[in-house]
């Protein structure tokens, strides 16, 4: 016990050695507090499980259980569809720059069809039809841009790719014009002004696309790929025909009898004639080309049904021939006339090998005939004989189409003369071109 007391007294004498220095304590305390204040308190996020649990409590508290049981599978199905569509949209966005022939192009086209189907959902019937027309023209314009790109790139398989684009282009145009014509027919009695406006819009859209296609065809005629030039020219003429269909719906309806709309219908018909005359001028310029002063050996250039695939001529087939007996159109040369029977020209169209310059000279003669007939059409329009005028316009369009195809063949030969594989024969130096219809019995009709 004495020893313990002694030790306590000894500790009391060592007080300064056992207790820390007050200044050291104060300094370190301040450092430690600064470190604590500098550290941000970590906020732990609420887990998905906790959120789901809270949402589940809310649903069971405020929503009837029967509704929950019914809505759960519906919501699940909706989420699955949403995820699928999100993935589909991501895939489609990557295909926007695909062109015909690419593996991803079919996905792009399929998405466009889906857009047309879903765009009109929930809209009134009238708006649905307008949306479908607008979308089809929009996608037709895409096909034109794709064709332009294909022609510029000029790949080995360009012809096959252009053919694929052409099919979808014609489908879009045909759908748009068909819907438009149906709407025009329904609105003619209810609202003639609106019917006419719709027809004019449709004609304008097709006119723009036709012009773009013909520009592509004209710009590509100096290339070696004549088949592509033919393809683009044919689809341009097909679209042009659809534009005439739209105008014809108005003309045949008798809407021009409405005094307030007569001038507008006249303007529409005059516009159709103007387009044909523009094409006629291009043929004349082509016939004047200095790049065609050469003769071609071989017996025939097969036109691959280029004329026959697009034209409908009156109770006849179009025969494109060369005669070595004349150098100009004779007085009794039969004329191509308008068709109401829509008889398809036969595929075996043969252009025998003349001097290309002489063939083009004959094209100039035919373009003059179109110009002369156009003057008579203007008179018919002014007199209000719109149906008669329109029938004549269609006939002039057919003549111009034939001339365009012959011009393409002549220019193709001028750019790249055919080898002996086109046929054996002697050169012909004094031929003339004749375009004449043959009647069903094989005789010419004057």
Q: 374-386 in b/e burial notation, b at 16+ Cβ within 10 A?
A: beebeebbeeeeb
Report the 10 Å Cβ neighbour count for 265. Answer: 25
Report the 10 Å Cβ neighbour count for 149. Answer: 14
49 compared with 437, residue with greater pLDDT: 49
Would the pLDDT of 36 be above 70?
yes
Would the pLDDT of 96 be above 90?
no
Half-sphere exposure of 30 (CA within 13 A, CB side): 5
Structure tokens at 108: 């792009």
The model's pLDDT over 231-282, given as tens digits with 9 standing for 90+, comes to 888 888 888 888 888 888 888 887 777 667 888 888 889 999 998 998 888 8
Would the pLDDT of 218 be above 50?
yes
Between 34-48, 164-178, 190-204, the lowest mean confidence (pLDDT) is in: 34-48
Q: Which residues contact 289 (CB under 8 A, 6 or more apart)?
A: 360, 411, 414
pLDDT of residue 78: 67
Q: What does the alpha-carbon distance between residue 101 and residue 155 come to, in Å, rounded to a whole number?
A: 11
* Helix axes 192-219 and 125-153, enclosed angle (nearest 10): 10
Q: What does the alpha-carbon distance between residue 5 and residue 346 come to, in Å, rounded to a whole number?
A: 136
pLDDT of residue 309: 32
Residue 318: pLDDT band (50, 70, 90) is very low
pLDDT of residue 81: 64
The model's pLDDT over 127-165, given as tens digits with 9 standing for 90+, comes to 788 889 999 999 999 999 999 998 888 888 888 999 999
pLDDT of residue 315: 30
DSSP 421: G
What percentage of the chain has pLDDT greater than the value 90?
Answer: 12
DSSP 318: E
Would the pLDDT of 23 be above 90?
no
Q: What does the alpha-carbon distance between residue 266 and residue 381 come to, in Å, rounded to a whole number?
A: 6
Give the mean model confidence (pLDDT) for residues 218-224. Answer: 64
pLDDT of residue 328: 30
Q: What does the alpha-carbon distance between residue 151 and residue 260 come to, in Å, rounded to a whole number?
A: 46
Which residue matches tokens 């002996």? 420
Give the mean model confidence (pLDDT) for residues 173-200. Answer: 88
- Considering the chain, what is the average pLDDT of its residues? 69
312 compared with 419, residue with greater pLDDT: 419
174 Cα distance to chain centroid: 11
DSSP 445: -
Report the 10 Å Cβ neighbour count for 227. Answer: 16
Give the mean model confidence (pLDDT) for residues 386-395. Answer: 90
Residue 356: pLDDT band (50, 70, 90) is low
Would the pLDDT of 415 be above 60?
no
Nearest to 334 by CA among 310, 313, 304: 313
Would the pLDDT of 121 be above 90?
no
Give the mean model confidence (pLDDT) for residues 191-216. Answer: 89
Give the mean model confidence (pLDDT) for residues 294-317. Answer: 33
Would the pLDDT of 439 be above 60?
no
pLDDT of residue 320: 31
Would the pLDDT of 114 be above 70?
yes
Would the pLDDT of 329 be above 50?
no
Residue 294: pLDDT band (50, 70, 90) is very low
Nearest to 406 by CA among 281, 320, 344: 320
Please give the biggest Cα pair distance in the chain: 158
Contact 111, 161 (CB under 8 A): no
Would the pLDDT of 383 be above 80?
yes
Listed by start position, the domains of the chain span 105-253
pLDDT of residue 343: 24
32 compared with 318, residue with greater pLDDT: 32
Q: Which residues contact 182 (CB under 8 A, 6 or more apart)?
A: 129
Q: What does the alpha-carbon distance between residue 206 and residue 175 come to, in Å, rounded to a whole number?
A: 12
Nearest to 409 by CA among 240, 238, 214, 230: 230
Gyration radius of the chain's alpha carbons: 39
Which residue matches tokens 């282009």? 169
With 0.95 as the threshold, say if the pTM is over it: no
Nearest to 254 by CA among 385, 406, 400: 385
Give the mean model confidence (pLDDT) for residues 94-109. Answer: 80
The phi and psi torsions of 300 (rounded to 5 degrees) equal -160, 150
């Amino acid at each position: 016990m004495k020893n313990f007391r002694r030790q306590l007294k000894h500790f009391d004498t060592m007080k300064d050695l056992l207790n820390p220095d007050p200044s050291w304590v104060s300094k370190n305390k301040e450092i430690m507090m600064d470190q604590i204040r500098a550290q941000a308190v970590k906020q732990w996020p609420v887990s998905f499980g906790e959120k789901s649990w809270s949402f589940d409590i809310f649903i069971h508290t405020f929503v009837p259980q029967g509704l929950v049981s019914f809505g759960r599978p519906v919501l699940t199905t909706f989420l699955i569809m949403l995820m699928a569509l999100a993935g589909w949209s991501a895939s489609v966005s990557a295909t926007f720059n695909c062109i015909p022939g690419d593996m991803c192009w079919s996905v792009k086209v399929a998405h466009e069809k889906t857009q047309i189907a879903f765009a009109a959902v929930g809209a009134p019937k009238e708006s649905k039809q307008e949306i479908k027309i607008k979308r089809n023209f929009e996608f037709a314009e895409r096909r034109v841009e794709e064709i332009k790109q294909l022609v510029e790139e000029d790949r080995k398989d360009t012809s096959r790719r252009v053919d694929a684009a052409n099919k979808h282009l014609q489908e879009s145009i045909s759908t748009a014009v068909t819907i438009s014509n149906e709407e025009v027919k329904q609105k003619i009695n209810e609202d003639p002004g609106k019917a006419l406006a719709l027809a004019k819009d449709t004609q304008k859209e097709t006119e723009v696309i036709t012009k773009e296609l013909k520009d592509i065809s004209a710009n590509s005629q100096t290339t070696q790929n004549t088949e592509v030039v033919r393809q683009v020219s044919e689809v341009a003429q097909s679209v042009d025909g659809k534009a005439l269909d739209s105008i014809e719906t108005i003309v045949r309806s008798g809407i021009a009898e409405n005094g307030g709309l007569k001038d507008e219908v006249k303007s529409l018909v005059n516009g159709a004639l103007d387009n044909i005359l523009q094409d006629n001028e291009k043929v004349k310029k082509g016939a004047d080309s200095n790049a065609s002063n050469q003769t071609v050996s071989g017996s025939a250039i097969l036109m691959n049904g280029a004329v026959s695939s697009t034209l409908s001529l009156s109770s006849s087939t179009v025969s494109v021939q060369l005669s070595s007996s004349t150098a100009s159109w004779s007085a009794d040369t039969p004329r191509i006339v308008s068709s109401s029977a829509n008889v398809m020209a036969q595929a075996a169209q043969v252009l025998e090998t003349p001097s290309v310059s002489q063939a083009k000279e004959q094209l100039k003669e035919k373009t003059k005939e179109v110009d002369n007939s156009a003057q008579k059409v203007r008179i018919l329009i002014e007199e209000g004989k719109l149906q008669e005028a329109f029938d004549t316009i269609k006939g002039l369009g057919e003549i111009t189409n034939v001339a365009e195809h012959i011009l393409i063949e002549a220019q193709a030969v001028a750019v790249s003369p055919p080898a002996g594989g086109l046929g054996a024969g002697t050169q012909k130096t004094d031929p003339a071109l004749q375009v004449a219809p043959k009647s069903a019995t094989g005789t010419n009709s004057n």
